[in-house]
């Protein structure tokens, strides 16, 4: 990964009223709209210096302490990301790119790790590319890109009206006998694990499942259709139905798989479609 070039953006001197205040709370003076998790991530990744030295989130402030907040003046996307991310389709103000498993889709505030999102200006130069969907770090497949805010709003309207068709392939434990639809509402308040509820979600957040292929080891390949997904929707829905995805470390089994077998294979909406094979189907 290429190094980030850091520039000082703000300096604040602690006074007597700040004595004993933790640095992760003190930073609210510089970042009033930030969350605690974001501030701690900035500290952990050495974007915060106290008297010229890095610190821990639990450091307590003292009068006269000089706090310097740094920012990444130039986030250089990693060479290895550019080598692996490929344009699958482009046209009519939209594009689709392939993301392999084990790569971040979007920029994480305060994190030094590179993502596909920060590389988009180099993949779509001069087109004001905006990432309009995300995939989990462990999920492979297509990311959608809108060229400009107008196209982004257009894509959101398609999602809200249920006219976006996203098709995933998932290799799961178990063999369903027939197609089925998972309608459960999801509680995504816990960012680490999505909870499946008993009541029904709006139809655009359902997961429609169709068997594709059975394997001799008791696993099967499923085609899953969604329109406007929630965080971990397919992973949580399938596990709740008794068909956890092979290699899923949160909702699955300890099966020793080399990866999580979930892949965003196709996307269709008015005027645009793209298909990207997984390589393991």
pLDDT tens per residue across span 67-85: 988 764 444 466 678 889 9
Predicted pLDDT of residue 209: 98
pLDDT > 80? residue 113: no
How many CB atoms sit inside 10 A of residue 55's CB?
A: 17
Residue 39 and residue 136 in one domain: no
Task: Give the tokens for residue 207.
Answer: 């997961």
> Which helix (H) or strand (E) is 82 found in, with range?
helix 79-84
pTM: 0.74
pLDDT of residue 97 exceeding 80: yes
pLDDT of residue 101: 95
Q: Say yes or no to pLDDT of 117 above 80.
A: yes
With a cut of 70, say whether residue 6 has pLDDT above it. Answer: no
Q: How many domains does the chain have?
A: 2
- CA-to-CA separations, 33 to 27, 28, 44, in angstroms, rounded: 10, 8, 19
Query: What is the number of residues in the chain?
Result: 281
Which pLDDT does position 52 carry in this prediction? 84
State the number of CA atoms in the 13 A half-sphere of 133 facing the CB. Answer: 29
Same domain, 167 and 85: yes
Say yes or no: 134 and 108 in one domain: yes
Residues 98 and 64 in one domain: no
DSSP count for the chain of H helices, then E strands = 6, 16
Residues 29 and 99 in one domain: no
Alpha-carbon 196 to chain mean position: 20
| Cα gap 31→92, rounded to integer Å | 38
Q: Are residues 89 and 219 in the same domain?
A: yes
Structure confidence by residue, pLDDT tens digits, 156-168: 999 999 999 999 9
Identify the CATH number of the domain in which residue 213 sits.
3.30.2350.10
Q: Which residue range forms the structural domain that includes residue 109?
A: 79-275
106 vs 131: CA distance, rounded Å: 8
Tell me the mean pLDDT in the region 213-222.
97
CB 224 within 8 A of CB 234: yes
Q: Is 169 in the same domain as 219? A: yes
- Which is higher by pLDDT, 92 or 175? 175
**Cβ-based neighbour number of residue 245 at 10 Å:** 28
Q: Is residue 157 part of a domain?
A: yes
Residue 151 has φ and ψ, to the nearest 5°, of -70, -35
């Amino acid at each position: 990964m290429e190094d980030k070039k850091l520039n000082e953006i703000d300096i604040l001197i602690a006074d007597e009223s700040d004595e004993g205040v933790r640095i992760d709370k003190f930073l609210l003076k510089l970042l009033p709209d930030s969350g605690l998790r974001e501030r701690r991530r900035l500290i952990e990744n050495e974007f915060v210096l106290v008297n010229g030295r890095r610190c821990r989130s639990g450091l307590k402030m003292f009068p006269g302490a000089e706090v310097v907040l740094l920012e990444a003046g130039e986030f250089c996307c990693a060479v290895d990301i550019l080598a692996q991310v490929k344009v699958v389709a482009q046209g009519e103000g939209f594009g689709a790119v392939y993301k392999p498993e084990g790569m971040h889709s979007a920029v994480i505030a305060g994190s030094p790790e590179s993502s596909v999102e920060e590389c988009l200006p180099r993949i779509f130069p001069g087109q004001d590319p905006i990432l309009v969907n995300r995939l989990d770090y462990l999920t492979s497949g297509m990311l959608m890109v809108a060229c400009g805010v107008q196209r982004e709003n257009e894509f959101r309207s398609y999602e809200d009206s249920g006219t976006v068709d996203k098709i995933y392939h998932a290799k799961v434990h178990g063999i369903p006998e027939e197609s089925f639809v998972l309608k459960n509402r999801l509680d995504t308040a816990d960012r680490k694990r999505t909870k499946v509820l008993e009541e029904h979600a709006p139809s655009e957040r359902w997961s429609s499942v169709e068997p594709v292929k059975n394997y001799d080891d008791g696993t099967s390949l499923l085609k899953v259709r969604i329109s406007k997904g929630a965080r971990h929707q397919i992973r949580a829905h399938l596990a709740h139905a008794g068909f956890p995805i092979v290699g899923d470390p949160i909702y699955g089994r300890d099966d020793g798989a080399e990866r999580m077998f979930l892949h965003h294979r196709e996307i269709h909406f008015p005027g645009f479609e793209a298909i990207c094979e997984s390589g393991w189907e």
